[in-house]
Structure 1
Amino acid sequence: MIETKHVSDFYLGNHGNFDCLVLSVLQELSDCYPHIRYTIVLAYLPTPGKNFDPHSLLPEEVEKSPPRFAVCQRNRWMIEHADWIVAYVVHSWGGAAQFVRVARRKGKSVLMLPSPVDPRRAGAL
């Protein structure tokens, strides 16, 4: 996407293995493509005493949302601010699948990475 779509700005979450993998890939790619930028979009204020990553952002509307809804609000913020969505969905239910459904309803281009989703359920996304 960096070379063919000229994508240079990336937003990612910080919950789960996929987010960790994406962060490590983007850190590695930034050596080869110094023009790319990545931002870790937080759902919660960082814990006191932890280092705040300079690549992190806590959007105001996410900070103001009740903690129970913070991840969903953060995901909506990322959808609103992104042109492309790259997703890895293991189940047709849950947060990742819901994220993809919302992105598609908003007319975003979604790139689905191959996953072990049951092909009979993949159409539900």
Structure 2
Amino acid sequence: MSPQNVTILIIDDDAVLRSLIGSVLRQEGYTVVGDAPSAESGLKVFDATPTDLVLLDINLPGMDGMSLLPELLAKPNAPKVIMVSGEATLDKVKGALSAGASGFVVKPISANKLLSAVSFAISGK
């Protein structure tokens, strides 16, 4: 699947990080359909505009990313989900992957690691 055919939603409480991630993805040809600062607002965006891939921060205000993950994966049009966190303990990474996440990216995020995780989640390569 080429980047032009992949739609992505970014859910992270850090506005600067959402903007930077969006810029990196757009430069590579991906379509960023939206971003949201919380799980609740992210779910609303997803329901209005289903996407192929969600970049989901673990630490969010209100509902956290690990609570939102099973909700997204239970959708009939379930996206691939890459978890994002600055606290990448082995337990968190294992927990996210065993809960169905397609990948895990550690903050601070480098463009190369982000793009590799997105490519792997979409294509499995």
Q: TM-score, normalised by structure 2?
A: 0.42
Q: Larger RCO: Structure 1 or Structure 2 (Cα < 8 Å, ≥ 6 residues apart)?
A: 2
Report the structure, 1 or 2, having the larger helix content: 2
When Rg is computed on C-alpha atoms for both structures, the one with the higher figure is: 1
